[in-house]
Amino acid sequence: MKKILLFLALFVSLNFFAQEFQGTAVYESKTSTAELMKNFGGNREITPEMQKNIEERMKKMFEKTFILNFNKSASIYKEEEKLDAPGTNNNGRMMMSMMGGGGTQYKNVKEKMYAVDKEFFSKEFLIKDSLPKYQWQMVSETKKIGEYTCFKATAVVATDPTDFRNFRMRGPRNEENKEKEQKQKDSVNGTKKTNFMNDDIEQIKEKTITAWYCPEIPINQGPDKYWGLPGLILEVNDGTTVLLCSKIVLNSKEKVEIKAPTKGKEVTQKEYDEIVKKKMEEMREMYGGQRGGGTGGRRGF
C-alpha cells in the first residue's frame, strides 16, 4: 500500500512540475539591409553616402528585441516594450504591420493553433488559425549558442504576403515574355488585382530557412511562427532576417501568464492577408490617381 501511495505522490509531483515548467527566451532581430536593397535593384541616382544613410535608418528600424515566454505546451511572443523614440508615430507602427510583425503571438503546440492580435489602419484584428506545418530536415551539424549545444535543421517555407521584405524587383524579361504579360493584363479587369505592389515587383513565394534547436530544452517552441523541432529553437535565419537568442531563464520565481489574446475582429490568416493586400492596393490606386491628376478615394474595411 505504501508503495502505491509513494508512486501516486511521485506521479502527482512530476505532473505538477510539468504543468509549472516555464521559461523565457530573449531574441535579437537583425535584417540585412544590403540584401533588401539588392532585392529592389538599388537606386543608381543616389550617392554611396545617401545609400549608407538609408541602410543605417533601415538597420535601426529592423533591429528589435523580442521576448518568448513558454511552458510545455504554449508560448507568447512579442516585441520588448520600450519607450517610443522621438519621431515615432503611426507610420512606424504601420511599417511594423507591413513587416508581418506587431501584437502578441500565441502558439499552442498541443492544440496545433495560434492566435495573434494586430492593429492595421487603426483597426484591431485577432488572427486565429492552425499552426503551419514545417517539413524539417534535421542534420547532425551542431554549434554552440551561448552555453547550449544546438543542432541544425532546414525547411522550405511559404513567405508572408503582407511582409514587404518578401518582395523583390522582377528579373530581366525578354520581349516574348513582356508580350505575354501585356496580353494577360489587357484581358484582366483592373479591379481584380491582388498584388498591392506595382507590376515591376514580385513576391518571393518560398524561402529556405535554417534553424538551430536545443534538445537540452525539450519543448517544440521557437520565436515568431516557428516551432516543431525536438528542442527550443534558439536561432532562425531566412536569408534576410536573423532571430538569435541572447538570454534564457528557466523556471523563474516570477511566472508569466501564458494565454491567447482575445481583442480584435476575429479572422483567419488568409482573410487578414486579403484585407492587407486590398488596403494596400487601394492606397496605390489613390496615390497613383493623385499623381495622374485623379482624386482617388478612401474606402473602409
The one-digit pLDDT tens for each residue of the chain (301 residues) are: 544 433 443 443 444 344 578 999 999 998 876 655 555 555 556 677 766 666 666 666 678 999 999 999 999 999 987 665 444 445 555 555 554 456 899 999 999 999 999 988 888 999 999 999 999 999 999 999 999 999 999 999 887 766 656 566 666 544 455 555 555 545 444 444 444 445 567 766 788 999 999 999 999 999 999 999 999 999 999 988 899 999 999 988 888 899 999 999 999 999 998 998 888 788 777 766 554 444 445 556 6
In degrees rounded to 5, what are phi and psi of residue 147?
A: -95, 5
Output the pLDDT for position 9: 39
d(CA 131, CA 154): 18
Record the cell numbers describing residue 202, joined without a space: 514580385
Positions of E strands within the chain:
23-31, 64-70, 74-79, 105-108, 113-120, 123-130, 137-145, 148-158, 167-169, 201-203, 206-214, 232-237, 241-250, 265-267
Place of cell 541616382: 45
Cell of 180: 505575354
Number of other residues whose CB lies within 10 A of the CB of residue 151: 18
The ranges assigned to domains in the chain are 21-291
Does this model's pTM top 0.75? My answer is: no
Q: Residue 96 has which C-alpha cell? A: 511594423
Q: Is 6 helix (H, G, I), strand (E, B) or coil?
A: helix
Q: Using one digit for the tens of pLDDT, what is the confidence trace for 114-141?
A: 999 998 888 899 999 999 999 999 999 9
Could you tell me the sign of the dihedral formed by the alpha carbons of 218, 220, 221, 226, in that order? Answer: positive
Question: Concatenated DSSP letters for 180-220?
Answer: HHHHHHHHS-GGG---SS-TTEEE--EEEEEEEEETTS---
